[in-house]
Amino acid sequence: MERELAAPCGLYCGVCGILMAHREGNSKFKERLCTVYNVTPAEIRCEGCLSRDIFKYCRTCPIRSCALERGIEGCHQCDRFPCGFVDDFPLPVGKKVILRAIPTWKELGTEKWIEEEEKRYHCPHCGYRLFRGAKRCRNCREPVDVD
Q: Identify residues 74-133 at the interface with Zn ion (CB under 5 A).
A: 123, 125-126, 128
**Cβ closer to Zn ion: 109 or 124?**
124
What is the Cα–Cα distance from 90 to 103, expressed in whole angstroms? Answer: 20
**Cβ closer to Zn ion: 34 or 146?**
146
**Cβ closer to Zn ion: 99 or 146?**
146
> What's the distance, CA 28 to chain centroid?
20
Least distance to Zn ion, CB of residue 20, Å: 15
Residues 6+ apart with CB under 8 A from 72: 8, 78
**Is residue 30 within 8 Å of residue 41, measured between CB atoms?**
yes
Number of shown-chain residues binding Zn ion (CB under 5 A)? 7
**Cβ closer to Zn ion: 67 or 137?**
137
Least distance to Zn ion, CB of residue 52, Å: 34
Least distance to Zn ion, CB of residue 70, Å: 40
Is the dihedral angle over the CA atoms 135, 138, 141, 147 positive or is it negative?
negative
Distance (Å) of CA 114 to CA 40, 87, 121 = 29, 23, 11
Residues that bind Zn ion (CB under 5 A): 123, 125-126, 128, 137, 139-140
